A and B are shown apart, each in its own frame.
Chain A
């Protein structure tokens, strides 16, 4: 039986070395929905995606994908789970030695035995979906940032994944490209019947199309809810983040001793 939540994170703790990045995080990602994970830079958002993809193992707790505990799978099992996922990396991560066409064809050629003529049709279809059918001969270095990300998106959906993960899909894009990507995420989610997990710190975009939002701060979920609930939230952290205030629960200053002490000590 298919679970209601395709991805579940339960009491997850993870850290590099002795430093704990996540402390007891729980999240659920319901099938067919667009869920956003928000938080400041360096709070471990990308790491959460890598935990879902099984590239790293949690220190405590677990991540389940489609009812299977990710870190309990062997290599084969993890690879099978990953074939249900598509991931859009922060900088696209296109293979620089392959053309746009070959980049999108790559997962199909590796994982299927489809004849080349069918691969050609499928690749052009995927590229058409992101509006770049005309660019299939270009090399990744010839693309603008927004185009590269759209090609990477076409590659991520090449095998029609059940789960699409986006790592900061809007970072460093101009407003037009941003609107295009925004639109694509929603369309792809609904057209493919996929589940989308979006990591971002763009408040406006996330609030405009996400079904549910998790705020991560200090290694735990600071707030969660639908965009409507969150925009009315009185929680000081959410308020600071949503309104982009520079000082608040997240301090402007990095941890430091008193200014006076620093100045006198250095003389």
Chain B
């Protein structure tokens, strides 16, 4: 076959299959929303999943946030001190965390910690015919399995991101005040004056809510769509991390540009 023709048909194939997957992921998303009332009616299912996705991610979130905060403190101090404004360190740490690092790093960690677990669990349920069995019992797996996990992820993400920012600020404080010797009062008062609740805190929460929807639905879709074999599930798990990370970074750019333009 003509090699150029081969390359073109390959590209065409890739594009159509991506669009196809995007379409079926959207379909799953809509069905999940339609079946949401069921997962709220039996709230214990959702709470159980919040425990598995949210609470179990706490350790990695807290530890990472602490280190990120400390590094921000060090780097920030190093630069600010050149301009003689090292007491602004609190503002810098808080804004960096609330606006960007909190939502984005939490989402990336979430994709690696909880997203992969969701994909593998659902993929294995499919491979072992548990989803089929549920359908044959006249129970929709989307209502019983997918929807509670979706809401658990969407609820957990903003909370995790808030915890991330909070712990990060503490990490920054620890480096700036006791270790480097920035004034305690200046650290907090500058932060207090320069951080705006609506612009910084609310926008950060909006971001992490959107990331929560994206990461969770990607993880769920990859699991639900995985070929029911060991190889299929392992590939789907990898794809969850790659797709979620790229989606989060892309969405972050789009959201930030909207928020800045106001």
A residues in contact (CB < 8 Å) with B:
50, 53, 55, 78-80, 82-83, 85, 87, 89-91, 93-96, 106-107, 110-111
Contact between chains at B139 and A55 (CB < 8 Å): no
Contact between chains at B128 and A106 (CB < 8 Å): no
Tell yes or no: B179 within 8 A of A by CB.
no
The 7 A-B pairs of least Cβ separation, nearest first, read A93-B133, A93-B129, A79-B138, A82-B138, A87-B136, A89-B129, A107-B137
A-facing mask of B106-139, CB < 8 A → 1, else 0?
0000000000000000001100111011011111
Q: Which residues of A contact B138 (CB under 8 A)?
A: 78-80, 82-83, 111
A-facing mask of B184-226, CB < 8 A → 1, else 0?
0000000000000000000000000000000000000000000
Closest Cβ of chain A: how far from B217's Cβ, in Å? Answer: 21
Closest Cβ of chain B: how far from A93's Cβ, in Å? Answer: 4
Out of A53, A79, A82, A91, which one reaches B128, CB within 8 Å? A91
Q: Which residue of A lies closest to B121 (CB)?
A: A97
Count, chain B residues at interface, CB 8 A: 13
Closest Cβ of chain B: how far from A17's Cβ, in Å? Answer: 15
B residues in contact (CB < 8 Å) with A:
124-125, 128-130, 132-133, 135-139, 144
Q: Give 25 CB contacts A-B under 8 Å.
A: A50-B132, A55-B135, A55-B136, A79-B138, A82-B135, A82-B136, A82-B137, A82-B138, A83-B138, A87-B133, A89-B129, A89-B133, A93-B128, A93-B132, A94-B130, A95-B130, A95-B133, A96-B124, A96-B125, A96-B128, A96-B130, A107-B139, A110-B137, A110-B139, A111-B138
Instruction: Give Cα distance in the complex from A107 to B144, angstroms.
Output: 12
Q: Which residues of A contact B144 (CB under 8 A)?
A: 110
Contact between chains at A106 and B129 (CB < 8 Å): no
Closest Cβ of chain B: how far from A110's Cβ, in Å? Answer: 5
Q: Which residue of A lies closest to B129 (CB)?
A: A93
Q: Which residues of B contact A91 (CB under 8 A)?
A: 128-129
Chain A CB within 10 Å, residue with most, of B128, B130, B136, B144? B136
Contact between chains at B139 and A53 (CB < 8 Å): no
Contact between chains at B129 and A90 (CB < 8 Å): yes
Instruction: Give Cα distance in the complex from A50 to B124, angstroms.
Output: 20
Q: Which residue of B lies closest to A84 (CB)?
A: B138
Apart from A93-B129, A96-B128, A110-B139, what are 7 other A-B pairs with CB-CB below 8 Å? A53-B135, A55-B136, A82-B136, A89-B133, A93-B132, A96-B124, A107-B139
Closest Cβ of chain B: how far from A143's Cβ, in Å? Answer: 14
